[in-house]
A and B are shown apart, each in its own frame.
Chain A
């Protein structure tokens, strides 16, 4: 089996484990948005995107804080396309997906309370 396929298989195994552990962090809708959008890059080795659930990949990025990570997701950064391909995601979805992939703790933030909610239905 080629190495890349082996790595991909391993990744999906880890992803499954990770999903099982943290599934409660995402709503069913957010899990579908994750599968349609985020997984195509963040569960694919060797393209430069941090792999979801891989703490080492997220360590430095997480130091920026959730607000900066959110802004990068929305407007795009390097290989990360604007909105991460997800036109259906609202701010709360993006925050949940960032926390899920980077394994960030959920904390109470003023910005959360002020976020424009429900602009996707």
Chain B
């Protein structure tokens, strides 16, 4: 059977043949050159740059503790630590949660499983453990994360700090699997927190943006190791929206990725694997690039650009069979990301998700916004974590993306107000423009609790960079928590 990779490549060639060269619009240009605006000269100070290349800084001290006591000492000022202190894991956040030109503490060397309990199926890990390492580590002790995002590059501490999530009606964010944590406070105290010990700190630190100190250890509620089977298909977006409630009810995980300027979407359905499940087809890590070629080749056509684009994609994708991936959970959940992009994501109340994504797709079409990168639509279960995007309500997380070498601002600025209309809460690690007043209104239960706790743990505001100060409404010259 011909797979989606072959079909997409055929589509790209067909599109290029249809189109006249030299008349392409704004979606052209590939990321063949370095994408960061930062210049580095060997022998000169080393910058910090995030994965997407849209955040950077030149920290005067870049510290990498190999032990918890070293972390504590650094928070107390050892090794030249001073000024604003920020922690960094895998640098995967799109928002400015990391940059500081003072002290950057990296958690790379705080990695691995510390202990585990087969009876409770829990494991204590170092917070710097990267997700791609954690899967095999847990597998060795017969455990697995209940759910994982669709990429496994982040450090667990960073994922928890921003309430990273995946999809599934029965599954909360990564933060919701945390049953205990150790917080190294800005004053250098180690607090062991859980639902019964420092309970308020626990509820705040499970999604803290790194504002309360640096989490050194996490205790995770896992599951016995399990296998999954993931089925990828191309379907009609409206059909999927109509059937969404049934799909999330009947499958362990379900998400879909609408293709702008078309009626099509890619669906991803994941369930516990059965005996006899086998891989079919091959994952195409360059699909986003190929999609862009097709779009670029056709979108310039006056009046009929969208129609031609959809027709070619329908020919290319409509006949493609399912791609199936199966294996251990930590092998199936993540996908390779070789295409750089920038992302904005808001979580809206679950019952408003369909209306919100329909309005976004219609807006892209009506305003002729030149974008071909798929959206993403996922379901996340409610939790009780103070600053979790899912606090108090099941949510639909809707993401919009733009290629890393294109300006995302004009596109995102036209979509972000739609999220506001549907009570959307922005993902802490992704691009958004909200400040303290709007955020306080979106978190009516515990916003003030968090601010007061932050003030008590860090009265001098040492953990706050400019971005966090804007989020929490704190003036640069005044370290007030109120």
Chain A 23-40 interface mask (CB, 8 Å, partner B; 1/0): 000000100110111001
List 27 interface pairs A-B (beta carbons < 8 Å), by A numbering: A29-B109, A32-B111, A33-B109, A40-B152, A48-B338, A71-B34, A71-B40, A75-B34, A76-B35, A76-B49, A76-B340, A77-B34, A78-B338, A81-B91, A82-B36, A82-B49, A87-B88, A87-B106, A88-B64, A88-B109, A91-B46, A114-B43, A115-B42, A115-B43, A116-B44, A116-B45, A119-B61
Chain A positions within 8 Å of B340 at CB level = 76, 79, 81
| B315-366 with Cβ < 8 A to chain A | 327, 336-340
| A5-53 with Cβ < 8 A to chain B | 5, 29, 32-33, 35-37, 40, 44, 46-48
Contact B46 A81 (CB under 8 A): no
Chain B positions within 8 Å of A114 at CB level = 43
Please report the C-alpha to C-alpha distance between residue A111 and residue B42 in the assembled complex, in whole angstroms.
Answer: 6
Q: Is B140 interfacial (CB-CB < 8 Å)?
A: no
Chain B positions within 8 Å of A40 at CB level = 130, 132, 152-153
Q: Size of chain A's interface in residues, with CB distance under 8 A?
A: 40
Please report the C-alpha to C-alpha distance between residue A110 and residue B333 in the assembled complex, in whole angstroms.
Answer: 46
Contact B40 A116 (CB under 8 A): no
Please report the C-alpha to C-alpha distance between residue A3 and residue B80 in the assembled complex, in whole angstroms.
Answer: 50
Chain B positions within 8 Å of A33 at CB level = 108-109
User: For A86, A88, A91, which residue has the most chain B Cβ atoms within 10 angstroms?
Assistant: A88
Measured CB to CB, the closest approach of chain B to A110, in angstroms, equals 8
Q: Is B62 interfacial (CB-CB < 8 Å)?
A: yes
Q: Is A58 interfacial (CB-CB < 8 Å)?
A: no
Dominant SS at the B interface? loop
User: For A29, A35, A36, A70, which residue has the most chain B Cβ atoms within 10 angstroms?
Assistant: A36
Contact B108 A36 (CB under 8 A): yes
Q: Is B1 interfacial (CB-CB < 8 Å)?
A: no
Please report the C-alpha to C-alpha distance between residue A85 and residue B158 in the assembled complex, in whole angstroms.
Answer: 13
Chain A positions within 8 Å of B41 at CB level = 71
Please report the C-alpha to C-alpha distance between residue A21 and residue B193 in the assembled complex, in whole angstroms.
Answer: 44
Contact A87 B91 (CB under 8 A): yes
**Which residue of chain B has its CB nearest to the CB of A83?**
B49
Contact A85 B51 (CB under 8 A): yes
Contact A71 B42 (CB under 8 A): yes
Q: Is A105 interfacial (CB-CB < 8 Å)?
A: no
User: For A47, A82, A91, which residue has the most chain B Cβ atoms within 10 angstroms?
Assistant: A82
| B53-80 with Cβ < 8 A to chain A | 53, 61-64, 66, 79-80
Chain A positions within 8 Å of B62 at CB level = 87-88, 90, 119-120
Contact A75 B42 (CB under 8 A): no
| A82-104 with Cβ < 8 A to chain B | 82-83, 85-88, 90-91
Measured CB to CB, the closest approach of chain B to A30, in angstroms, equals 11
Q: Is B104 interfacial (CB-CB < 8 Å)?
A: yes
